[in-house]
Amino acid sequence: MPVSRINLSADGPEVSRIAFGAWRLADVRLAGKAILDLVQTCLESGITTVDHADIYGGYQCQRLFGEALAGHRTLRDQLQLITKCGIKLVSPRRPENRSHSYDTGRAHILASVETSLQEVATDRFDLLLIHRPDPFMDPDEVAAAFVALKKDGKVLHFGVSNFMPGQFDLLASRLPFPLVTNQLQFSVLSSSPLYDGTFDQCQQRRILPMAWSPMAGGQLFRSPEPAAQRVRTALRLVAEEIGAASPEQVALAWILAHPAKIVPVLGTCQASRLRLLAAAETLKISREQWFAILAASTGAEVP
C-alpha cells in the first residue's frame, strides 16, 4: 500500500508521509538511470517528496539528480522538491567560499536558490529551508529573500532546519507568511526534540516537523553502544508482537506514531529498503510499546 499524503500546515504543501533524502546520491555513486530507477521506486511506494540541500555530496547531489531526470520532465509534477541553503563549505565546486561558515544574507539565499534551480533543472522548489541556525543571521535579510522568491514563484513555501524555538520565533516574526516546518535530527537514538521544545512548538503552531537521520545514520543497527543494543532488543520484541517485517520498520513506525505527525526523511538509496520502510506506515504501535522503546533508548523508565 503506498504511503499516505499530509499537509505540513494549513497553508503548507502536501507531502508524502515519508520523504526521500537525496544526501547520499554522490556517496554511493549513483547517477543517471540508477537515480531514475530509485525515483520510480519512491513513486511506486507513494514517496513523492524529495529532500535536497545545496551542499549535499560536496555540491554534487542536486546536479546528479537533475541530470538523471533531465529526459523525464513529466516526473517533476509528481514530486515535491525541497532544498536547503545557508551553509558554505570550502570546495573546488565553490571556489568563492574561503571558509566553512554560514551565510543567510539575502544575496546568498537568492544566489543559492538560482543555482539549485539550474542544477535540479526545475523552475520552482516546493519548499526552501534555512539549513542551520546562523548566529550572524539578520532575520530581515532572510525575510526579504523569502518574499522575493515567493513573489517570483521560484519557491512556494518556506521553513527551517535544526532551529530551536527562539530562533524559529525570531525568523517567523519577520515574515508575512508562516514557516511550514522545522526539519530536526530525530530517531530512537536521538530524541532531544521530545524534550527541548521543538516538537512542542510545532504542535502549538500546527505545523508538522520533519526528521532527518531517522535511522540514526545507520548506528541504530550497527553501533555497539549500550543504548543501541537495548533499542535493538526492544525493536525486535515489538516487531514480533505486531508482526512487523523487520526492526527497521518498527523504528520508523515509532516516529510516525508520535502526535506531532513527524515526516521522516529516509537516507537509504537501496530500493528494497525503501519498499520495506514505506510499509512502516501500516504498523500500529501501542502507547505502552512506544514507551518501552523510549525507555530502551534512555536507559530508564519515565519518571
Helices 287-298 and 247-256, interaxial angle, to 10°? Answer: 110
Torsion, Cα 148 154 156 161, to 10 degrees, reads -80
Q: Catalytic site residue 56?
A: yes
For residue 226, report the phi and psi dihedrals to the nearest 5 degrees. -55, -40
265 dihedral zone (left: phi>0; alpha: psi -120 to 50; beta): beta
Cβ neighbour number for residue 99 with a 10 Å cutoff: 7
Out of 56, 59, 102, 195, pick the active-site residue: 56
Which of helix, strand or coil describes residue 58?
helix
Which set of grid coordinates corresponds to residue 105?
544574507
What Cα–Cα distance (Å) separates residue 206 from each residue in 181, 250, 262?
9, 26, 12
Distance CA 176, CA 142 (A): 12
Quick one: DSSP state of residue 77? Answer: G
Distance CA 50, CA 288 (A): 33
Which of helix, strand or coil describes residue 40?
helix
Catalytic residue list: 56
